[in-house]
Chains A and B, each alone.
Chain A
Amino acid sequence: MTASEVDPALEAGFEAGFEAGFEATIARNDRIEPRDWMPEGYRRTLVRQVAQHAHSEIIGMQPEGSWIGRAPSLRRKATLLAKVQDEAGHGLYLYSSCETLGVSREQLTEMLVEGRQKYSSIFNYPTLSYADVGTIGWLVDGAAICNQVPLCRTSYGPYGRAMIRICKEESFHQRQGYELLMTMMRGTDEQRAMVQESVDRFWWPSLMMFGPPDAESPNTQQSMAWGIKRNTNDELRQRFVDMTVPQAKALGVTLPDPDLRWNEDRHAHDFGTPDWDEFMAVVKGNGPCNAQRIAHRRKAHDDGAWVREAATAFAARTTQAALEGTSR
């Protein structure tokens, strides 16, 4: 039977059945798998979110990667290189997850370099001292983990499974970052000042990583209904602040927020409001490094085109030779 012979009424009946199956799966907190039926909006939302996440890993290689060449000890150089390499690996898993939704890595990369898909705005801030490597590990990876741990339970199977592995490695990175800062705090006065300056710069951008306040987050409600997202932006932001305050104390740094204090009634910390105007400026492309990050990624992609073409041509030639060999 060809497509044109399908009775429209029958098709609508199938569709309704599939949708009921999908809703039931979501309601049971089971996973949706690539070959399951899913609403187009669900697929589109996932592509957007998983691609954004993959792009964040890849763009996120740059701010720390720029310090590999200047790492002040060989041990730190090895640790940092391995960490940035892990980010490339995370990008790979996530692009693979996204490919199960019918979009290729090449298409996603094109959308990134053309500015049609986004990545985490935190990477549009510059890294200005070696302490930033530690601060990114502690605060930025810490915030990312708060965002990502609930995603291990996300409703889309390939994404959730990728997140389990990614979260384990991110957790390791966060400890490494914190450990670098701890070590620097036991060093010279200049090093301690470097750590404090870095924390002062990254604190507010880290809080912005959870996205706009719930009242202004357009996609949150549908994403939560579909089980793609499991907590609201403000819930996660609060969790991050509560988690970080004692760590800052143990480290011996202050957090640059005069309104930050424990609220016994709420059993949580009160804290100030991030500069949402700056957040919007960075999201819209006017952050300190937006143009630089995209230009870097685009150059790597363009410069590598001839290599990818060569690999494809060589593989085709080898396959052809093998086929001719077996047909003899």
Chain B
Amino acid sequence: MTEDPHSPHGAHAPSHAAPDPNAAEGSIFDGLLGGDTSQWAFGTDFEDPLAGVDTTVPDGVDAHDLAVYCLMLADDALVASQRLSEWCSRAPDLEEDIALANVALDLLGQARLLLARAAAADASVVPVLPEGSPVPPEDALAFFREAGDFRNVRLAEVPNGDFAHTVVRLLLLSCARLAVMERLAGSRDRVLAAVAAKAVKELAYHRDFAGRWFLTLAQGTEESRRRLLTALDQLWPLHDELFGSHAVERAVADAGVGGDPAEVAPEADVVLEQVLAMSGVERPDRQALAGVSGRTGRDGLHTEALGLMLAEMQVVARAHPSGRW
């Protein structure tokens, strides 16, 4: 505070004089009233997020495998982001509304880069749109694929529950994803390495946010602890799927390009165990959720919830396949 100790009691000593009300309107108004409306149309064209980046596929890795692997990483982020953004205007307090939006924005940013990387590695993964459609590859992938072509883990897609459910899901997802991204920062694919280097910082924050809330809810009130344990119990059967490595994940990991989730499982688990221990919460004794003929999210086999989520997410884009946004 800049209180002046010498000023007499009650006297007014303004520290921030107001601007002169008779002066011309502030600079913000000037910009708005400016006659040149053309300046408003800046940046109307879509910018390729990988513009200027060398997207050559490294030697010794199958381009299609690399593309599918990127879709797996991208879809986890995209689907989790979509669920997180459902909290917007519904969070327990304004601070959490803002924080959840931040996490959703980070994941959306990761998804965009990874979708663009998938398309650049192998264009055959991108849905075909009408001749002349201006829809860029990242949007064709996000909005014009069927649910069965999404490669995200099922944990990312199950419908939102209460705030405890979101905290648990984010903790499980971010522990696993952070461990994978730390590995990927050393990828032979320079695009993936760059995406991962940025993602590591973001995910460390997400994990921290979720971990702090996990502890808070575990030790807050009886009600918050009950809700947290319920959410953990509900989501735990989907936890194993994060670390079951798919053939594509193993192939790209063997080529020095990807990260095999089974290999990073112990690292992720150390952190999770710490959070559980600090919070005084037991690891749930729940079996992993079965797939269908052994197929799960990474194979494109999802819960019923994904189709419904995509129906909302894709509705406007699909109504205008030649639209410009």
Mark A residues whose CB is within 8 Å of B: 14, 17-18, 21, 24-25, 29-31, 33, 36-37, 58, 61-62, 65, 68-78, 81-82, 84-85, 88-89, 91-92, 95, 130, 142, 145, 149-150, 152-155, 157, 160-161, 167-168, 171, 174-175, 178-180, 182-184, 186-188, 190-191, 227, 230, 243, 246-247, 250, 296-297, 299-300, 303-311, 313-314, 317
- How many A-B contacts are there with CB distance less than 8 Å? 233
Q: Is the interface of A mostly helix, strand, loop or mixed?
A: helix
Chain B interface mostly helix, strand, loop or mixed?
Answer: helix
Bound state CA distance, A72 and B215, in angstroms?
37
A178 adjacent to B40 (CB under 8 Å): yes
**Residue of B78, B88, B102, B139 most packed against chain A (CB within 10 A):** B88
Of all chain B residues, the one with the shortest Cβ separation from A95 is B94
Interface residue count on the B side (C-beta < 8 Å): 79
Residues in chain A near residue B135, CB distance under 8 A: 73
Give 16 A-B contacts (CB < 8 Å), ordered by A residue: A21-B10, A30-B17, A58-B89, A61-B97, A72-B320, A73-B325, A75-B112, A78-B108, A142-B32, A153-B20, A175-B42, A187-B320, A191-B323, A300-B89, A308-B93, A314-B215
Q: B101–A188 contact, CB under 8 A?
A: no
Q: A183-B324, A311-B220 are in contact. List 5 more A-B contacts (CB 8 A).
A: A33-B14, A70-B313, A171-B32, A180-B325, A190-B323
Residues of chain B with a CB closer than 8 A to A36's CB:
12
Query: Among residues 28 to 54 in chain B, which have CB atoms less than 8 Å away from a CB atom of chain A?
Result: 28-29, 31-33, 35, 37-38, 40-44, 46
B97 and A88 contact, CB distance less than 8 A: yes
Contact status A303-B162, CB under 8 Å: yes
Partner among B21, B139, B142, B320 whose Cβ is within 8 Å of the Cβ of A191: B320
Nearest A-chain residue to B14, judged by Cβ: A30
Q: Kindly identify which residue among A29, A81, A310 contacts B224, using a CB–CB cutoff of 8 Å.
A: A310
A30-B17, A149-B26, A167-B28 known; A84+B88 contact, CB < 8 A: yes
Among B15, B31, B90, B102: residue with most chain A CB under 10 A: B90
- Quick check: B313 and A69 within 8 Å, CB to CB? yes
**How far, in whole Å, are A24 and B14 apart by their CA atoms in the complex?**
12
CB-defined contacts of B28 to chain A, threshold 8 Å? 145, 149, 167-168, 171
CA distance A11 to B94 in the complex (A): 42
**Hey, which chain B residues are within 8 Å of A187, CB to CB?**
134, 320, 322-325
Q: Write the chain B residue with the least CB distance to A311.
A: B216
Q: Hey, which chain A residues are within 8 Å of B138, CB to CB?
A: 74
Question: Given A142-B32, A171-B28, are A78 and B105 also a contact pair (CB < 8 Å)?
Answer: yes
> In the complex, are the beta carbons of B320 and A31 less than 8 A apart?
no
Residue of A nearest to B219 (CB): A314
What chain A residues lie within 8 Å of B43 (beta carbons)? 179
For the complex, what is the distance from the CA of A152 to the CA of B27, rounded to whole Å?
11
Residues of chain B in range 248-276 having any CB-CB distance to chain A below 8 Å: none
Closest residue of chain A to B88, judged by CB?
A65
Q: Is the CB of A160 within 8 A of B18?
A: yes
Contact B92 A307 (CB under 8 A): yes
